[in-house]
Amino acid sequence: MTALIKEPSFRECVDLMFNRAVALMDLPPGLEEKIRVCNATYTVRFGVRLRGQIHTFTGYRSVHSEHMEPVKGGIRYAMAVNQDEVEALAALMTYKCALVEAPFGGSKGGLRIDPREWDEHELEQITRRFAYELAKRDLINPSQNVPAPDMGTGEREMAWIADQYRRMNTTDINSRACVTGKPVNAGGIQGRTEATGRGVQYALQEFFRHPEDINAAGLSGTLDGKRVIVQGLGNVGYHAAKFLSEEDGAIITGIIERDGALFDEKGINVDAVRDWIVKHGGVTGYPDAAHHAEGAIVLEQDCDILIPAALEGVINMGNAARIKAPLIIEAANGPITAGADDVLREKGTVIIPDMYANAGGVTVSYFEWVKNLSHIRFGRMGRRQEEASHQLIVDELERLSSDRDLGWTLTPGFKQKYLKGAGELELVRSGLDDTMRAAYQSMREVWHARDDVKDLRTAAYLVAIEKVAGSYRALGL
Ligand code: NAD
């Protein structure tokens, strides 16, 4: 639903939230402004000959902070892309990377295009040309600026970008590290496609390990049986909803998409809806749940956890007061406007903020970038050695139990599980889980330790800005 009240833009919202946090800090004069502003935004306009005529496209790449390089951030394909939006998203990337200790500055890109209007071959031509324009200005470069997928893009687009960069830099041995989120057979890493949704799951698992935090949201127990509404069943929303329902026992009661929403208190099968969307282009007509033509209304339904995973500004001054969920996890970037954030905080809603909640993507992107630079798959050196040393222990346990007739045997399944050394996927999940736990703990420590910090978002900004400020201090600024 569009807000009737005039609200600040997305970038202004990010600045307002930033300002709220720095007011509680003691930064040297001028450093606050240095951190807040976006360093540069490049606009490119280029033509591509398609369907017998030249079409002109507008794209952006914004670099928010270069306190660490390369800078990192996704490329979005959507008609709503504009300079204000990419600058807001680039700023969020700076804080996100700092919070989860991914050694990057913040950047973001966007192309004003509706990807559904073009066929695959046309999209490839457009993407390659956009990549060319960015790469020739070092706005794609393994050591300076490394894009990734975002709304409207995925591993297919990242593979085209990587290939375009390689064609332009034929002797760069690290060319694959120029972009992340690539398919595994083109230099990607296992677990990247699902990483942001997986990170949302790990974030909620960590939240539910802290009784004090569960209480703060007025909830109790575990994730099991919690009623969840998700908006946007794309990459992030689909994986988050799938993992939470299949592995943690959560019940997906609502799914909101572009063409309306599905609702069923008994739970909705996420994979069945995803298959339906792929086949029919939307949720309309899905037979096993009630359909609401005005999807955004379902944001206001009673539930335990609300996961906005589509786009920014969907919870705004127009609907904030009617949002019933006691816990909101911002899987999308900027789904809650600054004004709505005030209303929700006043009501006691606990918000797990975007800069933390969707950081799983950049975390696994960081692993992919390291893999590309080291030119070796994670686990390749150690896996068999780990299995061999586990085998020694299992053999010894089995010998002891049979030699001395101790009367015990190994639990069924133990041997098989214990003997399996960690491959790339297991290591990626372990690294992601560790990152999400550590970052949550750093936020909640500030949230609970300081009387003047009332919410997780302010805590997240405090932790992130302190880290960015530390980098600037180390540079002598
Ligand atoms: P996506 O394009 O894969 O999916 C977006 C989904 O939202 C689609 O299913 C689309 O139909 C739906 N949608 C669009 N407009 C909608 C509307 N008005 N109401 C309801 N649904 C709508 O995009 P994604 O990669 O899943 O990104 C979603 C959000 O997550 C964005 O805010 C993005 O910045 C953020 N994010 C993505 C990643 C990533 O790794 N892909 C990482 C961090 C953050």
Q: Which atom of ligand 1 is nearest to the CA of 331?
A: 30
Distance from the CA of 211 to the center of ligand 1, in angstroms? 31
Segment 20-42, tens digit of pLDDT: 999 999 998 899 999 999 999 99
Question: What is the amino acid identity at position 3?
Answer: A
Residue 108 falls in the annotated catalytic set: yes
Q: Taking the C-alpha atoms of 212, 215, 217 and 222 in order, what is their torsion angle to the nearest 10 degrees?
A: 90
How far is the C-alpha of 17 from the C-alpha of 455, rounded, in Å? 11
Structure tokens at 193: 């496609």
Residue 403 pLDDT grade (very low, low, confident, very high; cuts 50, 70, 90) = confident
Residue 407 pLDDT grade (very low, low, confident, very high; cuts 50, 70, 90) = confident
Segment 460-475, tens digit of pLDDT: 999 999 999 999 988 8
- By residue count, the chain amounts to 477
Segment 303-325, tens digit of pLDDT: 999 999 999 999 999 999 999 99
What homologous superfamily does CATH list for 195-360?
NAD(P)-binding Rossmann-like Domain (3.40.50.720)
Which residue, by CA, sits nearest to atom 35 of ligand 1? 332
E strand intervals along 22-113: 40-50, 53-65, 71-78, 105-112
Q: Given ligand 1 and candidates 150, 238, 278, which is best to mutate, with the most ligand atoms within 8 Å of its CB?
A: 150
pLDDT of residue 4: 58
Number of H helices, E strands in the chain: 16, 12
Distance from the CA of 110 to the center of ligand 1, in angstroms? 13
The whole-number average pLDDT for the span 170-182 is: 98
Q: Which atom of ligand 1 is nearest to the CA of 277?
A: 9
CATH 3.40.50.10860, the chain: domain bounds: 38-186
Q: Which atom of ligand 1 is nearest to the CA of 365?
A: 40
Distance from the CA of 333 to the center of ligand 1, in angstroms? 9
Whether the per-residue pLDDT at 477 is higher than 80: the answer is no
Distance from the CA of 311 to the center of ligand 1, in angstroms? 6
Residue 328: phi and psi, rounded to 5, are -120, 130
Which residue, by CA, sits nearest to atom 15 of ligand 1? 258
Which residue, by CA, sits nearest to atom 30 of ligand 1? 332
Question: Which of 361, 395, 1 lies closest to 195, judged by CA?
Answer: 361
Which residue, by CA, sits nearest to atom 37 of ligand 1? 150
Average pLDDT for the chain: 96
CATH 3.40.50.720, the chain: domain bounds: 195-360
Which residue, by CA, sits nearest to atom 40 of ligand 1? 361
Segment 81-101, tens digit of pLDDT: 999 999 999 999 999 999 999
Segment 224-242, tens digit of pLDDT: 999 999 999 999 999 999 9
Segment 47-57, tens digit of pLDDT: 999 999 999 99
Question: What is the amino acid identity at position 320?
Answer: A
How far is the C-alpha of 96 from the C-alpha of 355, rounded, in Å? 5
**Residues 94-112, buried b or exposed e (16+ Cβ, 10 A)?**
bbbbbbbebebbbbbbbbb
The whole-number average pLDDT for the span 369-381 is: 96
Reported pTM: 0.95
Distance from the CA of 376 to the center of ligand 1, in angstroms? 31
Distance from the CA of 316 to the center of ligand 1, in angstroms? 18
CB atoms within 10 A of CB 424: 18
Whether the per-residue pLDDT at 375 is higher than 50: the answer is yes
Residue ranges around ligand 1 (CB below 6 Å): 149-152, 196, 231-237, 256-258, 295, 309-311, 331-333, 358, 361
251-257 vs 260-263, strand pairing mode: antiparallel
Q: Given ligand 1 and candidates 311, 330, 432, which is best to mutate, with the most ligand atoms within 8 Å of its CB?
A: 311
Q: Which atom of ligand 1 is nearest to the CA of 335?
A: 32
pLDDT of residue 40: 97
Whether the per-residue pLDDT at 106 is higher than 90: the answer is yes
Question: Which of 350, 343, 360, 344 lies closest to 435, judged by CA?
Answer: 360
Segment 244-264, tens digit of pLDDT: 999 999 999 999 999 999 999
The whole-number average pLDDT for the span 284-296 is: 97
pLDDT of residue 1: 47
Q: Given ligand 1 and candidates 153, 182, 196, which is best to mutate, with the most ligand atoms within 8 Å of its CB?
A: 196
Q: Which atom of ligand 1 is nearest to the CA of 334?
A: 32
Which residue, by CA, sits nearest to atom 36 of ligand 1? 332
Distance from the CA of 45 to the center of ligand 1, in angstroms? 25
Residue 3 pLDDT grade (very low, low, confident, very high; cuts 50, 70, 90) = very low
pLDDT of residue 328: 98
pLDDT of residue 183: 98
Q: Which atom of ligand 1 is nearest to the CA of 237?
A: 26
The whole-number average pLDDT for the span 134-155 is: 97
Residue 404 pLDDT grade (very low, low, confident, very high; cuts 50, 70, 90) = confident
Which residue, by CA, sits nearest to atom 24 of ligand 1? 151
How far is the C-alpha of 40 from the C-alpha of 474, rounded, in Å? 22
CATH number of 38-186: 3.40.50.10860
Out of 72, 96, 108, 242, which one is annotated catalytic?
A: 108
